[in-house]
Structure 1
Amino acid sequence: MEQYNYVTSYKDNEKVRAALNKLTTDTFGFDFEAWYQNGYWKEESYMPHSLMDGERMVANVSANRMEFVIDGETKHYIQIGTVMMAKEYQGQGLGRYLMEKVIALYQEESDGIYLFGNDSVLNYYPKFGFQTSKEYVYKKTLQENQLSLDKDSIEFIEIKNPSNEERQRFFDYIHHAVTNDGMTMRNVGLMGFYLHDMEGVYYNKKLDVYVVAEIADETLYLNAIIAKEKVELDRILDSFAGAVKTVVLGFVPDRKDEFEVEEFREEDCTLFYIGEELERVEEEKLHFPTLSHA
């Protein structure tokens, strides 16, 4: 690798960051510039490890520090993401070099390392010691005759065209949010990546809670609950029950026994992990929150 320059910790280096954005755009069709300019890229949370050929970035493997609260216990994982290689540089072992470097750097400091890979790499990541794991999804049918509250009194309002003041208020809630599920992510930067524009965010004034959700075909896809105090999930579901018939959670509920559970299957996406601690995902029927994917 002597002909290439290894770089990391460069988020404030405009030229190198631009090179990362170029490779990310070419590979995935997005870049990190707005995320950086809006202040969500924190060096200690998102750490790209890259190889440069002159001023061009040709390979990258990023490590994301992920804190989760699982059944009241705090765990620190590393999620690997934005694994990229310029097409002309494939077959030179650059990806292997970076992957081995990242695993060696973070394995001892974390409770486990994981990533989500597509079908084309099912035989690739096991070469580095990764194993595959199942995830699970929780859902239920809502019965209107079981509602405990008046729907109109706890209506959720979708946030449209948020002002800067509304956005600041929302992210204040994210900063100070309490655990409202069985596997809570603590990563404000990643929430900023997904939710800066507050698309799909609803607020309930009576309950003083934000949720991130989508409604399609009479199904509520509930991806996050964001509140400064504990809120009963049933109270949230009650307010949507008149508009939807089914709820699918993008997180693990506190009380799993109140939901149907089934194996989660996402096309072209497999969970890989290193470390005995992450065996619990399959054993305890867990699900990495939808908004935690890096």
Structure 2
Amino acid sequence: MEKYSYVTKYKDNDLFRAALNQLTRDTFGFDFESWYQNGYWKEDMYMPHSLMDGDRMVANVSANRMTFVIDGEIKNYIQIGTVMTAKEYRNQGLGRYLIEKVIATYKNQCDGIYLFGNDSVISYYPKFGFQVSKEYIYKKHLIKDEMIKKLSKNSEGFVKILNPSNEDRVRFFEYVKDAVLNDGMIMRNLGLMGFYYHEMEDIYYSKRLDTYVVATIEDNTLNLSCFIAKRKVELSEILDSFADVAEAVILDFVPSDKSGFEVEEFKEEDCTLFYIGEDLQRIEREQLHFPLLSHA
């Protein structure tokens, strides 16, 4: 790799950041500039490891520090993401070099390393010691109790936030920062929440419960990504509030109380979980699930 320059920890370097943005746009169709400008990129949380050919970035593998609280236990993982090589530079081993560098750098600093790969790399990541894991989701039918429906309509239920102001945004991310543990596996990563929800799309708020919900409703099904509150809130209260507009719910998180939920293997096209580290065996063993909003 002597012909290329290795760079990292360059968040505030305009030249390198622009080069990363260009490679990301060329590869995935988005970039990180607005995320950076809005203050969500924390250098010790999102750490690109890149190769430069002159002023051009030709390959990158990023390490994301991910803190989860699983059944009350804090776990620190590294999630590998933004794996990309410019088309003209592929098949030179650049990605392999960077993945091996990331694994060597962080393997003794965390409880495990994981990533999400598409179907075309099923045989690629095991070469680095990664194993494939299943994930699971939880779902249930909502009770169509007329009293519950009546209560939800007349008790200041969840209202979708439209045209959010900066004040709305500040308040929401304040709640994200100070949220208490209300489910069985919660992510602690303000930067990723900022990446996905700076525009506050698909966010509801209940004054009565003083709780935010990130959700969509499609085909009479509530797809509940997460709920965020500064106090303990029962999931049943949230589901009751949506009983008049949805017949079923699918959770994108692990409920703290799994009773009453159906559990099934989570399958998403081109999204396979790979992991290194004995601790991450718990994802399949305990039927857990990394929320989609935690994917880097």
The TM-score with structure 1 as length reference comes to: 0.99
Matched to 1:223, the amino acid is S
**Runs (4+) off by over 6 Å:** none
Map of 1:1-294 to 2, 5 A cutoff? 1-145=1-145, 150-152=151-153, 153-294=155-296
Percent of residue pairs bearing the same amino acid type: 70
1:267 is displaced (CA, Å) by 0.7
Q: Secondary structure of the equivalent of 2:217?
A: strand
Structure 1, unpaired ranges of 5+: none
1:137 is displaced (CA, Å) by 0.5
Q: For 1:154 and 1:260, how far apart are their aligned partners in 2?
A: 29
- Listed one character per residue, the Cα deviations across residues 136-194 of structure 1 (whole Å, up to 9, x for unaligned) are 00000012128657112041110011000110010100110001110000000000000
- Listed one character per residue, the Cα deviations across residues 247-266 of structure 1 (whole Å, up to 9, x for unaligned) are 00000001112210000000
How many residues align? The count is: 294
Matched to 2:173, the amino acid is F
Q: For 1:290 and 1:253, how far apart are their aligned partners in 2?
A: 15
Q: Secondary structure of the equivalent of 2:145?
A: helix
Matched to 1:130, the amino acid is F
Matched to 1:4, the amino acid is Y
Q: For 2:291 and 2:40, how far apart are their aligned partners in 1?
A: 19
- Listed one character per residue, the Cα deviations across residues 14-53 of structure 1 (whole Å, up to 9, x for unaligned) are 0110000000000000000000000000001000000000
8 Å contact from structure 2 (residues 148, 243) kept in 1? no
The TM-score with structure 2 as length reference comes to: 0.98
8 Å contact from structure 1 (residues 147, 238) kept in 2? no
Q: For 2:76 and 2:218, how far apart are their aligned partners in 1?
A: 34
Aligned-residue Cα RMSD (Å) equals: 0.9
Matched to 1:292, the amino acid is S
1:6 is displaced (CA, Å) by 0.1
CA distance 1:146–1:78, change in 2 (3 Å): farther
- Listed one character per residue, the Cα deviations across residues 109-138 of structure 1 (whole Å, up to 9, x for unaligned) are 100000000001000000000000000000
Q: For 1:58 and 1:257, how far apart are their aligned partners in 2?
A: 49
